[in-house]
Amino acid sequence: MWLINKETQERIFSGDLRRMYPNSLFSSVIRQEDVEPLGLQVLHNKQPKYNHSTEKLVDNGIAIIDGEYYIDYQVIPLTPQDVIVNSISNRQARLWLIDNDEDEVVINIINEISDDKLRKKALAEFEYAIEFERGNETLNMILSLIGKTPKDIDQMFYEASLL
């Protein structure tokens, strides 16, 4: 349960109440009448329903409705930065590479790997993988060789997942 200091608007977790006010007695269930003499108010935390896979909650601060304090939530769509895609199909990866003129660059990077066995493994993964996992070492090595940062790779996976 959350409380709010009515004067400072500071949010206080009820678990911290006993530490902050060691000389006060509180029941196991904190009620408004217990905290009102301390200048505190129960802060209602009623989250609206939303689709976790496409939306997120944003805390817009405090709203006072009929003398009661509420956390003012807003439901907004997830952005690409909020979504971590862990795998994409080979088809999605290749379409993304083509759309971004990176397909030939990747093939050239793989062909330039000097270690024969590593080059063959990288080519086999690129040619025959059913899907690409975000944490795949070979994939991350190839993408880093073409200048992709981890953030770029996250963005690539997100965009490719939409294809």
Domain ranges of the chain: 2-77, 81-161
Residue 97: pLDDT over 80: yes
Partners of 74 in beta bridges: 58
- 3-class SS of residue 92: helix
Residue 88: pLDDT over 90: yes
Residue 81: pLDDT over 80: no
Give me the amino acid identity at 3.
L
> Looking at the whole model, is its pTM more than 0.85?
no
- 3-class SS of residue 70: strand
62, two tokens? 């405090």
Using 50, 70 and 90 to split pLDDT, how confident is the model at 155?
A: confident
CA 154 to each of CA 42, 44, 126, 150: distance values in angstroms, whole numbers, following the listed order: 40, 36, 18, 6
Q: What is the pLDDT of residue 131?
A: 93
Q: What is the pLDDT of residue 99?
A: 95
Q: What is the pLDDT of residue 160?
A: 92
Q: What is the pLDDT of residue 44?
A: 87
Partners of 57 in beta bridges: 75
Partners of 133 in beta bridges: 87
